Amino acid sequence: MGFYPPPPGVTDIPGLEVSGTIVSVGSATNRWKVGDQVCALLSGGGYAKYAIAEESLCLSIPRGLSLEDAAALPETCFTVWHNLFERAALKASEWLLIHGGSSGIGTTAIQMASSLGVNVIATAGTEEKCLACEKLGAIKAINYNKEDFVQACTELTGSGVNVVLDMVGGDYVQKNFSSCAPRARIVNIAFLRGSKVEVDLMPMMLKQLVLTGSTLRAQPLENKARIAAGVESEVWPLIVAGNFKPIIHSRLKMTDAHKGHTLMESNQHIGKILLLNSEEISK
C-alpha cells in the first residue's frame, strides 16, 4: 500500500525475509559458497525466485529446522532481539507485556523471552489466540476485547511490567504508561491504531519511563550485521535446543501471494504465513 517504502536504491518488490540455496556469490564473499543453504534478511525483493542478500545478513539454518520454515525467522528474530534485548535491555525475571501476541512478531517474542527466563504477558483478540499465546510460554494472555489489560497487568505483577513491546499505538500509548512499573521501558515497532495521539506525559515523567522505538529496514548495514551476530549466537541455540520454533499458520504458492495478504489483513492467522517457490507445498 506504500506505507513502508524501500530505502533509496532498493527494489520495490516486497519480501524482507527468505531462505534458500546460494546459487552465486560475490568476489569478496568469504563466509558462504554456492550450494550453502541459508536464511537471510533483505531490504526488499523476497517475492521472487532469486534474491540478493548481504553476506553478513545471511544465517545458517538452525539444526533441526527445515529450510522452508527457516524463511520465517530473519525479520521477526532480528526485530525481537534488537528491540527487547538491545534497546530495552530486557533481563531474566522481569515482566514483559507483548501486544499482538499471536502475530509473527508476537509468537517469536513470547518464545524467545520466556525461554530466557522472562515473565511474559500477552494481549490478543480472541480466546483461541490467547490460548495459543499461553501454550507458547506466556504466563497470562489477555483478551483485549473482554478484559482491561492495564488492570490485569497490575494484578499479575503488583507494580506493573518492566518492558512493553507495542505494535498497536493509538489509545494503547496512554494505557502502556499505566501498565508500567517505575523505570520501565516501552518500545514501539508499529502503530496499527495510529501514531498521532494525545497523551498525558506526566506518568512517563513520574515513573521515569523510557519510550523508544525503531524500524529495521532502514538501519545501516553495520547495525543489521551486529543484530545478525547477536541472533546467531543467542537465539539460534534456543531453536536447536527445542525451546523456540517459528509458528507457521499457512503455506501458499508464490502465485497465491495475494491470498496471503488477504489472510493477514483479516487478522485471523496465528504466527507466520509462508510463500513457497516450490510446487510442492508442505503439509
pLDDT in the model for residue 232: 97
For domain 75-213, say whether CATH 3.90.1010.10 is its number: no
pLDDT in the model for residue 2: 79
pLDDT digits 0-9 by tens, 156-196: 999 999 999 999 999 999 999 999 999 999 999 999 999 99
Which conformational region is residue 154 in: left (phi greater than 0), alpha (psi within -120 to 50 degrees), or beta?
Answer: alpha
Q: Domain segments of the chain: what residues?
A: 17-74+218-276, 75-213
Nearest to 166 by CA among 147, 180, 146: 180
pLDDT digits 0-9 by tens, 7-25: 888 999 999 999 999 999 9
How far separated are the first and last CA of the chain, in Å rounded? 31
Nearest to 73 by CA among 39, 48, 31: 39
- pTM equals 0.94
Which conformational region is residue 110 in: left (phi greater than 0), alpha (psi within -120 to 50 degrees), or beta?
Answer: alpha
pLDDT digits 0-9 by tens, 125-167: 999 999 999 999 999 999 999 999 999 999 999 999 999 999 9
Averaged pLDDT of the chain: 95
Q: Say if 17-74+218-276 and 75-213 have the same CATH topology.
A: no
Which CATH code for domain 17-74+218-276? 3.90.180.10
278 falls in which pLDDT band (50, 70, 90)? low
Mean pLDDT of 106-121: 98
